[in-house]
Each structure stands twice: as structure tokens, then as C-alpha cells.
Structure 1
Amino acid sequence: MMTDLPLPPALVPPALVMVLGAFFIPALKGTARRNLLLGLPLATLALVWLVPDGVALPVGFLDLALDPVHATAEGRLFATVFAIMAFTGGLYAMHQARTLELVAAYVYAGSAIGVTFAGDLVTLFVFWELMAIGSTVVIFAAGTDAAARAAFRYLLVHLLGGVVLMAGIVAHWAATGSLAVQALEPNSLGTALMLIGILVNAGAPPLSAWIADAYPEASPSGTVFLSAFTTKTAVFALLVIFPGAEILIWIGLYMVFYGIIYALLENDMRRILAYSIVNQVGFMVCAIGIGTELALNGAAAHAFAHIIYKALLLMSAGGVLMMTGKRKCTDLGGLFQTMPRTAMHGIIGALAISAFPFTSGFVTKSLETAASAHEGLLVVWLLLLAASAGVFLHAGIKFPWFVFFQKDSGLRPPEPPIETRRAMTLFSGLCIGLGIFPAPLYAILPYPVDYQPYTVEHVVSQLQLLLFAGFAFFVLLKQMKRTLTISLDFDWFYRKFLHELAEEFTVRTAEARDRLEERALDWARRQIRILYAHHGPHGILARTWPTGSMVLWVALMLGCTLLLYVL
């Protein structure tokens, strides 16, 4: 039951606008649909900044005090970039995505914004699961058999994560009586389960492979939407609930190098970028584990910038897929000749993810490495530095080189449609604009920023790192070339092993059922034979008896009855 507290005139839950507005998309066509697709994210963005700080819309439900609209600096930051992503993704998708995908994508985006404004764990969980449904439909909407199977596997993983998260919330509430979204220590059963449930969505080990398994099977626009919300809402949840949890440092470092290794081994351009998502989220998780204000600012800023440049990379890859129908690096090459704008946008995204000076990655990632250095974490700092070189190898050079340059594949596709190019142009401008003018981004970070990215030492050291990484790439170019191979990952267990196990279980149970059915039929046949032997035409109970004999038996029975009565 809702409380009677008055709702401020300017306060409309931002997530509600996006989620409910999505269901009007099928009813509109042409210019009206275009205006709705672009207007919903803009209206949501405006509402994100109109919601006052603190508890804005308290609600009572089943004796629980819920706080579904609670504005914080962290939430506003993530909600802002989610709305920007929805706007640009809608522009990119409007003329090539199916209606089902558009509806699901906007529900997905609105639910992610709902998570960022959740002040209680129940609201967070509701939007969390709504995100899982929306993102599953986005994958399924690609309309291929591979997408349907990937969507099913994706849903299973996220249902597992949701169950674990809900179990943790219930255990935490039972132990403390609190449902507030606040900083916690993973030192109890409830908080440990919550941490595991959130890490599933972050793509942490051992369930990291669902990203590379599912995202590349979506449509070109679907993959762009998917890259932005699920893992980043997990980063947001870790940022506000488990800042400073030391275990996250080592989980994040594992994700960083896991993503690099598998991306270097991969031949599919969209799987390269999917593994790169795990790698980049690893940087953020590691910074959250460090837990200082500088590190948390770095994780938040990196998430903001990553959503933009990773979407740009996937838009570029999606444009190639749209115009060529091919996604393997071995089938591509030389596309810069007829797709120069798409190649340029892909290169800008590659430079940004590699933290090249004057791009958004340079002014955000450096906050994380600086935080590890300031805390005296030498091993962590060295590993993050080495990982930065690895990022340049797989996403900064490998993706644009093998897709747009290397050999001439003979393909001569035109540029993708105008809306696709406009979306890429917008995000390219943001990658460069944030890199040159980081102050607006720094101003909305959770904590005050006292950091100057453009020092001579930082610029020179980063250029040296990228130069030597690029040199290593071309020296080892023969080893970097991919062939038609399959990379085995943990998803083999639920794609192959568990599938074979289920089939074997089905065969065994079918055989056992057949044996039981045969035994039951044999028993029934035996009973029928016994009955037939006694009651059949020649059975002992079917014979005719003389009347005198029957009278004698009746008399004996009556006499016995009388005797028993007397006794």
C-alpha cells in the first residue's frame, strides 16, 4: 500500500518514463516513432537531473519501507550516461532494428536507470530482474537460431545470478532488518551471496563467458545496447554496496587478463569486443576493491567513458556486419577503401579504449592506476600498466587492423545508413570532447577531484607504453593473425558438457521408464491370466453346479451361522 505523501510536481520517476514509454513504440510509425525513440531518452535525462538529492519518493509496501527513487551522485552519473546511451542507441537502431528489439531495449535501458535510483534492495532487485528479461528479449529479437539458443543460455545464467542475489537480500534483511542500499562488508552469508549475485552480472569468473557467448549473437544494434547496461549496473552496485572490498582487487585483475587473452585468441570481431568488455569491467572492479575516493572516482569515470567508446567500437563493427554480412577477421580486410567514415569512427573508439592522449580513456583510466600507485599497491599498479598495453594490442590495434586494413578481402561495401553514421559521429565527438575537456565529467563524479591528467610525465609514459605495444604487435603480426578456430571457455560446461549430461540423463530415464512400463505390463498380463484361469469359460469359478449340491452348501452355511450364534 502506498503512503499518502504528496508527490512533488516536478518529480516523475525517470525509469518509469523510459519503461512505460517503450510500450508505445509499436503503435507509432515514421516520424512519430523517430520522435518517440529520441524523445524518451532526452525526457528521462532531464528528469534524472530534476530529482532532488536524497529520499524523493518513499513507499510503504507489505510493512516494508521502500525507497524506489533515491538520487545520489553515483546514481545520477550512471543514469546520465545510460540515458545518453539510449538516445544514441535509438538513433543507431531506428531504421534497422525490429520493433520487438526496440521495445525490449528501452525497457532494458529504463530498468538500468531504475537500478541507479533504487534506495532499497527490493527495488534494486525488481529492476535488476526486469533488466534480465529485457536484455534476453534483445538477444532473441535477432531472429536467428543461434540468437535463440544464446538467449536461453543467457537467461539461465542471469536467473541463477538473480536467485543468488535475492537469497542474499533476504538473508541480509533477516539478520539486520535493513534493506537500504548502502556500503556493506561481504562478511556474512547475506552480503556474500549479494556480492556473488552482482558479480554474475559483472561477468566475473567463472561466469565470464556469457558475455562473449550471447552479445555477438544479437543484431548489430542489439549488441550496442547490451554492451552498455548489464555490466555497468553491476559496477554501480559494487561501487555503492561493496566499496573497498579487497577481494574485488584480485577478481578485477583476473577479469583484466582473462579478457585480454581471449580477445587476442579470437577471430570473430564482435567476440573480440565482447571479451574486451570483461577486460574493461575488470579495471573498474579492481578500482572499487581499492576503495579510496580517487579509485571510486576512477571506476565511475571509466564506466562513463567505457559505455561511450565501447558502443562506438560495436557500432563500427555492426556497420561492417550490416554491409558485408561477415564478422570473422579472416573474411575481412581492406574495408577502409569504401567505408572510410566507419573505419575512422572505429579507430577513434580504439584509441579511446587504449587511453590515447586527448581521448576519454586517457582522462578516466589514469584515475584508477593513479589510485593504486597512491596506495602503494606496486603489484597492482604494475599489472594494470601491463594490462593497458594488452588493451592496445587486442582492441586498439587488432580490431581496426584486421577489419579495415591488413589484406584486401575484395569486399567493396558502401557506408552504412545515415542514422548509423550520425550515431557514430556523436559518440566519436564525445570520446574526443571528454578527452580534451574532462572538467564537466570530473564535476559530476561522486567525490571532489584533485587530479590533473595532462602532465608531461603522464603523457610521455602513456605514449611510450602504446608505442612499444604497437611495435610488439607488428613484430608478432604472424602470430597475431587468426585462423578458423574455436576458443573453449567455461561456457563449454553449460553449452556442451551440461547439454550432453542432460541428454544422457534423458536417455537413462527413458530406458528406466521403459523397463518400469514393461514390468507393469507383465504384472498386469499375469493378473489377467490368473483371472481368466478362474473366471474364464473353462475356469473353476465359471463351471455349472447341480441345484441339489448348492442347496446342501447353503444349508451347511446356515447351520454354521446358527451354531456360532448359539455359542
Structure 2
Amino acid sequence: MINVLPPAFIFIISGLIVPFLKGRARNVFLTAVPIVTFINLITLPEGISMGYSYFSYNMHLLRVDELSLIFGYIFLIISFASFIYGYHVKNNWEFTAGLFYAGGALGVIFAADLVTLYFFWELMTVASVFLIWARNTDRSIGSGMRYFLFHLVGGVILLIGIILQIKQTGSAAFNHMELSSLSTYLIFIGFGINCAWPLLHTWLVDAYPEATILGTVLLSTFTTKTAIYTLVRGFAGTEILIFIGAAMAAFPIFYAVIENDLRRVLAYSLINQLGFMVVGIGIGTPLALNGTVAHVFADILFKSLLFMGMGAVLYRTGKIKATEIGGLYKYMPYTAAFTIVGAASISAFPLFSAFATKSMVMSATAGNHYTMTWLILLFASAGVFHHAGIKIPFFAFFSHDSGLRPKEAPLSMLIGMGILAFLNIFIGIFPGFLYQILPFDANYVPYTTAHVVSQLQLLLFSALAFTLLLRSGIYPPEIRSVNLDADLVYRKVLGGFIKFEDKIILPALDNVKYLFFNFMPSLLGTLTSNPYKLVNQIITGGVKEEKRGSEAESYFWLIGWSVFIITVFLAIYLLAFMHF
């Protein structure tokens, strides 16, 4: 029966089938996968099920509760819209990677134990890197490799933490944890790497803009949001997350304002929005956690919509930098309109999605007297309106006339964007439908006079500041440049290591190579070529010998001590080997 299958399995099995389909049959199949999975999902009984045993530990593939369900709903919604958006993709293997990637994300959020979670966590890593490599450019290959290495390290850290946690507690169950041991700290850091914490975030802004058009949409959804899920499930109320989240919300603004690549602007904006969610997790109250989960739901909708809009521009023009595009609203009016909906949503305009979700985190922050954090989030709210609410649609569709005359985006792209635009407006107008499925008990009313007025004031003053700064020439101009981020530190450290390797390690290895593969074999060959001579040298410790015939006189060096030292060294080595 299909209703006993974990949702992840449906996606993974579908990923194996899709390479054999073509044309309309493939598109119908891709549309059906999230629909069938959704039907399967709503028929699953709540609780923990699908158990199995691994090394005498009890594992479970399914934990169905309100928290996992709401993540499952939004993952299926975005899969449905994204697959429609991606009908234009010719390479079926890109859909295979996308299905495996989404299946891994579904596996993570429904896993009831750390071992099952880790398996799907690594499946996400492997599948997602192919969405970057699928673009098949030099930059995408390099970015994909760096992305893979970053997540490989994060996966090893997470695995070590899981092993220590199981050894310490005797259980593999994935429940709430306290930062009280090395194991929980390692698990915490492993989750944090996928959440793009400050200084650990460079993989995101490096790789996401280099992925395929469809790949970037999918990447913006699953990796970081599964990390948010694991932090909600495992570390809600961990106070250090408040400060980590505040930093995440603030620092990307400065990079996004000066960034020229508009998909990279959205990558920085993604980290900014994750910051609000992480703050909510750190506060840990029902209202804050509901705000985090609700904002995950909304962020997936509006961030995917913005990436879709920029993807459509890239698809039609082949360009995505602010200095190379502009004035496209005349030729891509529907794409421009959908992008503006996404921009209004991320900016938290009344009647748009983030107005009903982000404000929950803001209210929880103020209500729990984190005044400085609240001020940082207020600054971040104004900043996101500048770089995502205004900059993205302004420089892509208005600003200067780039001279480009593209066609409107394909119909399938418009349908995918239209679905998400509708949902962003629907949640903004009727937030009660979203609030009903939130996992924690907390009442919240977004449409109060004070909230509406204060938010409109913030947005209007931000728009005025943008206009004045732009007209005065103070606003950073869109120029061709390289945005140096924290990866500069990695490059310097790596460069220093490479120099150390070239000057110290490699010469030492060359000497070792010469010792073991040249000198010692030659020496042993000489010593064993005449057994009588070898015995004589050991006994006498080296003597002067007359060469017969025309051979000149030579001296044998004292090998007695050399053989003795080698024998002792080999004995010590063998004893040490047997001991360990």
C-alpha cells in the first residue's frame, strides 16, 4: 500500500524512473510525484512508525507530528511549483538529482532517530552538488567542489557527534538536546554548517548562484530549511542561537547592497532571513517557535519566487548582473509582476506573506526583553527591503535600458511563478490558514493598527532613504567587482598551508622517498650480494681489503653498527605494531 511508504521513498523511487521518460509524459509524471506524495502524507497516522534495528539500536523512518507535517507540506508545495517551472529543462538527470535531493530533505524531517537522519542528510549533500555541476561551467564545477568539501566536513563533524551521543546515552533517538557534552556540541555545529552560520556561510553564496536555473530554486529550499528544522527539534531555547541569528540577519545586508550578481544578492538575502528564524529558535517560546516555522513556510514561497524571477531573466537574456540588465519590464511584464510580488512579500508589506510571519519573531523578541536583538532585527528588516524589496526588481526590470529585447518567460515558468505569487498573497491576506497548522500553542494577531502603521512607516522611510541615497550618488553603484567575503580568510589560510606544503612537507617527503625507495634498497642489495662478505663485515666491523686484478683498493664503511641499528628499529616497529 502506498500509504505505508515514507514520503522520501516516493521521491527517491521517482528519481530512478524519470530518466526513462520524455516530453509530456515526463512533465506529467513530475507533476504527479508531489501530488501523490501529499495524498500519502495526509493519510499517514501520527506517531513514530516504520521501525528497524541497526546494531541492536532501534531506528524509525517515520515520526509524524505537527512539526514534521508543516515542513512536509511546504516541501511538497515548492516541489510541485518548481517542477512545473522546470518543464523547459532538457536534461532528465537534473530532475533525478532534484528528486533525490527533495527526497533526502523529506527523509530528514520525518526521521525519528539520528542514524536515519544522517543517512538522508548525506543523500541531500550528494544529490544537491549535481544541481550545481549540471550547469557545466568552470565556475559551477569549482563552486560545486567547494560546496561538496564544506558539507563533507560538516557531515563528518555531525557523524562523530552522533556516534558519541549514541555511546553516551545508549539511544539513537532524535529529541531535544542540551549543549552539555562534546557530542551535542558537534551535532550542533554539524547542523549549523548547513544553516549557513556566520563564517560558515560562504558555501551558500559561492554555490547557489552558480547552479542551474532550476537547481538554484531547489537549493534555496531544502538544505538550510532542513537545518532549521533540526535546530527547532533538537536545540530550541539554546540562547546562543539568539546572538548567532542576530549576526546572520545583519551582516549579509552590507554584502547584498554592493553585490552585482542579482542571484548572489538573493543568496545573501537568504542568510538574512535565516537569521530571523535562528533568533526565534534561540528564544524558544511557543510564539517564537511558531514564528520561526511560519517564516520558514513563507520564506520558501517568496525566496523561491524571487529566484524563479531571476532565473527567467537569466534564461531569456543569458545575463544576471545588475550592470548588464535593466529595462526589461516592457518585454517580460508577467515576470516583472511576479518578482514584485516576491519583493513585497520578503519586505513584509501588509497583505503579503512575511507581514504575517516575520512579525511573530519580532514580537517574541521584544516580549522577552531582548531589546538589542530587536533593534538589530529592525535594522535587518529595513535592509532587506533595500536589497531584495527594491534592488532586485529595480535593477532587473527598471533602472537603465540595457538594450536587451528578450521574450517573455515560457508559459511553464510563468505558471510556477504564478502559483507561488498567489500563495504569498493568500497567506498575507488570510494568515489564519497557516496559523492553524503551526505546531505550538500560541495566539497571534498580525493585523493590529499599531503593527500595520509601524510597518508602513518602516517601509516608507526605507524607500525614501533608498531614493535619496540613489539620487545623491551615495548609494553604492552597480559596478563590475568581486565581493570579498569570509572565504578570503580560507583562501589566505589555504594559501599559507600550500606554501608550507611546498617548502617543508614535500621536500621532507622527497627525502623519505629517497631513503626508503632508493638508498635503503641499494644498500641492502649491496650487502646481500655477497653473503660471505656481509658476515665478515658484521664480525670485523669493516676492514681494508685489496681488490684483485686491476681493481683499485677500496674501503668498506663500518656496517656493523648500521645493521645493528636497523635491526633494533625493525624490532621496535614490530613490537609497536603488535601492541596496537
TM norm structure 2? 0.88
Mapped to 2, the partners of 1:415 and 1:353 lie a distance apart of: 24
1:538 deviation in Å? 3.2
Mapped to 2, the partners of 1:116 and 1:163 lie a distance apart of: 20
> CA 1:275–1:297 in structure 2 vs 1: closer, same or farther (change >3 Å)?
same
Mapped to 1, the partners of 2:525 and 2:162 lie a distance apart of: 59
CA contact (8 A) 2:3 2:41 kept: no
Within-5 A mapping of 1:3-22: 10-22=3-15
Mapped to 2, the partners of 1:134 and 1:427 lie a distance apart of: 24
1:522 deviation in Å? 7.8
Mapped to 1, the partners of 2:488 and 2:91 lie a distance apart of: 30
C-alpha root-mean-square deviation of aligned residues, in Å?
2.4
Within-5 A mapping of 1:71-86: 71-86=64-79
Mapped to 1, the partners of 2:107 and 2:76 lie a distance apart of: 11
Mapped to 1, the partners of 2:523 and 2:69 lie a distance apart of: 76
CA contact (8 A) 2:255 2:483 kept: yes
> CA 1:507–1:346 in structure 2 vs 1: closer, same or farther (change >3 Å)?
farther
**Is residue 2:320 matched to residue 1:327?**
yes
Single out whichever of 55-64 and 278-287 deviates more from structure 2: 55-64
CA contact (8 A) 2:365 2:371 kept: yes
Mapped to 1, the partners of 2:469 and 2:278 lie a distance apart of: 31
Within-5 A mapping of 1:133-532: 133-477=126-470, 478=473, 479-495=475-491, 497-498=493-494, 501-502=497-498, 505-506=501-502, 509-512=505-508
Mapped to 2, the partners of 1:310 and 1:249 lie a distance apart of: 23
Single out whichever of 521-530 and 45-54 deviates more from structure 2: 521-530
1:539 deviation in Å? 3.1
> CA 1:315–1:174 in structure 2 vs 1: closer, same or farther (change >3 Å)?
same
Single out whichever of 453-462 and 498-507 deviates more from structure 2: 498-507
CA contact (8 A) 2:352 2:427 kept: yes
The structure number with the bigger radius of gyration is 1
Structure 1, residues 520-566: CA drift from partner, whole Å, max 9, x if none?
Answer: 7689889999999988973379xxxxxxxxxxxxxxxxxxxxxxxxx
**Is residue 2:551 matched to residue 1:539?**
yes
SS at match of 1:57: strand
SS at match of 2:178: coil
1:141 deviation in Å? 1.1
> CA 1:537–1:142 in structure 2 vs 1: closer, same or farther (change >3 Å)?
farther
1:184 deviation in Å? 1.4
Mapped to 2, the partners of 1:9 and 1:270 lie a distance apart of: 39
Single out whichever of 293-302 and 365-374 deviates more from structure 2: 365-374
Return 5+ residue gaps in structure 1 as ranges: 1-7, 542-567
Residue aligning to 1:558:
none
1:61 deviation in Å? 2.1
Mapped to 2, the partners of 1:17 and 1:527 lie a distance apart of: 64
SS at match of 2:102: helix
**AA aligned opposite 2:320:** R
Mapped to 1, the partners of 2:81 and 2:548 lie a distance apart of: 84
**Is residue 2:154 matched to residue 1:124?**
no
CA contact (8 A) 2:250 2:377 kept: no
Return 5+ residue gaps in structure 2 as ranges: 531-544, 554-580
> CA 1:455–1:512 in structure 2 vs 1: closer, same or farther (change >3 Å)?
same
1:409 deviation in Å? 1.0
CA contact (8 A) 2:250 2:376 kept: no
CA contact (8 A) 1:97 1:219 kept: no
1:11 deviation in Å? 2.0
SS at match of 1:180: coil
> CA 1:163–1:517 in structure 2 vs 1: closer, same or farther (change >3 Å)?
closer
**Is residue 2:16 matched to residue 1:23?**
yes
**AA aligned opposite 1:11:** V
CA contact (8 A) 2:47 2:63 kept: yes
Mapped to 2, the partners of 1:536 and 1:289 lie a distance apart of: 89
SS at match of 2:25: helix
Structure 1, residues 327-383: CA drift from partner, whole Å, max 9, x if none?
Answer: 111111111111111111111101100111101111011111111122122222222
SS at match of 2:96: helix
Mapped to 2, the partners of 1:411 and 1:167 lie a distance apart of: 52
> CA 1:293–1:340 in structure 2 vs 1: closer, same or farther (change >3 Å)?
same
Mapped to 1, the partners of 2:356 and 2:71 lie a distance apart of: 17
1:187 deviation in Å? 1.8
**AA aligned opposite 1:407:** H
Mapped to 1, the partners of 2:83 and 2:89 lie a distance apart of: 10
Number of matched pairs: 535
Mapped to 1, the partners of 2:546 and 2:229 lie a distance apart of: 79
**AA aligned opposite 1:337:** K
SS at match of 1:65: strand
**Is residue 2:95 matched to residue 1:102?**
yes
**AA aligned opposite 1:324:** T
CA contact (8 A) 1:256 1:282 kept: yes
TM norm structure 1? 0.90
SS at match of 1:476: helix
> CA 1:373–1:408 in structure 2 vs 1: closer, same or farther (change >3 Å)?
same
CA contact (8 A) 2:231 2:281 kept: yes
Structure 1, residues 129-152: CA drift from partner, whole Å, max 9, x if none?
Answer: 111111111111111111111111
Mapped to 2, the partners of 1:525 and 1:450 lie a distance apart of: 83
**AA aligned opposite 1:464:** Q
1:517 deviation in Å? 6.4
Q: Identity over the aligned pairs, expressed in percent?
A: 43
1:98 deviation in Å? 2.1
1:80 deviation in Å? 0.8
Mapped to 2, the partners of 1:216 and 1:155 lie a distance apart of: 15
1:511 deviation in Å? 4.3
Mapped to 2, the partners of 1:166 and 1:526 lie a distance apart of: 47
Mapped to 1, the partners of 2:174 and 2:526 lie a distance apart of: 72
CA contact (8 A) 2:258 2:477 kept: no
1:506 deviation in Å? 4.6
> CA 1:214–1:80 in structure 2 vs 1: closer, same or farther (change >3 Å)?
same
**Is residue 2:29 matched to residue 1:36?**
yes
CA contact (8 A) 1:37 1:94 kept: no
Mapped to 1, the partners of 2:122 and 2:183 lie a distance apart of: 18
> CA 1:181–1:220 in structure 2 vs 1: closer, same or farther (change >3 Å)?
same
Mapped to 2, the partners of 1:498 and 1:111 lie a distance apart of: 32
> CA 1:133–1:534 in structure 2 vs 1: closer, same or farther (change >3 Å)?
farther
Single out whichever of 239-248 and 45-54 deviates more from structure 2: 45-54
1:416 deviation in Å? 1.5
Single out whichever of 477-486 and 390-399 deviates more from structure 2: 477-486
**AA aligned opposite 2:423:** L
Mapped to 2, the partners of 1:513 and 1:377 lie a distance apart of: 55
> CA 1:9–1:484 in structure 2 vs 1: closer, same or farther (change >3 Å)?
closer
CA contact (8 A) 2:2 2:40 kept: no
Single out whichever of 482-491 and 251-260 deviates more from structure 2: 482-491
> CA 1:75–1:518 in structure 2 vs 1: closer, same or farther (change >3 Å)?
closer
1:22 deviation in Å? 0.9
